[in-house]
Amino acid sequence: MKILITFLFTTLTLFGSDFITPREYAKMLYENPRGISCKKCHGNDGSEQILGYYLKKGVKTPYKIPSIQNLSFEKFKNSLNQIKNAKSIMPNYSLTNEEIVSLYNYISQFNKNKKQQPINTKGVKNDK
Ligand code: HEC
């Protein structure tokens, strides 16, 4: 019995720290999803980014990436699920619905206007 308790205790202390909170999970997804990190193009918080500059009719023009903090879940999800047209530099990801919800809630928390409520994995808004 003593051995069993010692065993249980060491396994718990060794592996217990592996559990991460949903927020840590979402942050990890945002920073390192399968493929290239969202952060590389959308910044730390999904706000509008200037990726670089190009010449448009001789005028130095910024290449802007729109903010993704204010999108409805529908729009957010659709743009991650649709196959991008050739002009887009954003990669196609194969994310599950849960991953998209997690990313959406993570990015929405940076939105200062806070119009969105966190949504649950079924894509339905939580009442709380
Ligand atoms: C290589 C750069 C790049 C990476 C990496 C990237 N994006 Fe994008 N994203 C863009 C650009 C550029 C746009 C603007 C529309 C377009 O060109 O498709 C965009 C558009 C979007 C949109 C739609 C915005 C709108 O107004 O319709 C969403 C949502 C989005 N990105 C989420 C993400 C998430 C989540 C990730 C990571 C899983 C990610 N992006 C990774 C470059 C990137």
Q: Residue 98: inside a domain, yes or no?
A: yes
Sign of CA dihedral 63, 68, 69, 70: positive
Whether the per-residue pLDDT at 9 is higher than 70: the answer is: no
Pocket flag, ligand 1, residue 41 (CB < 6 Å):
yes
In a domain, 11, yes or no: no
Number of domains in the chain: 1
Of 25, 42, 100, the one to substitute when testing ligand 1's pocket (max ligand atoms within 8 A of C-beta) is: 42
Q: Is residue 83 part of a domain?
A: yes
Q: Atom 33, ligand 1: which residue's CA is nearest?
A: 38
Q: Is residue 56 part of a domain?
A: yes
Is the residue at 103 inside a domain?
yes
Q: Is 12 within a domain? A: no
Percent of the chain with pLDDT over 70: 77
pTM: 0.76
Residue 66 lies in a domain: yes
Host domain of residue 64:
20-108
Q: Angle 59-65-68 (CA atoms, 0-180°, nearest 5)?
A: 155
Residue 100 domain-assigned? Answer: yes
Question: How many angstroms separate the alpha carbon of residue 76 from the centre of ligand 1?
Answer: 9
Angle between helices 73-81 and 97-108 (to 10 degrees): 130
Tell me what pLDDT residue 89 has. 84
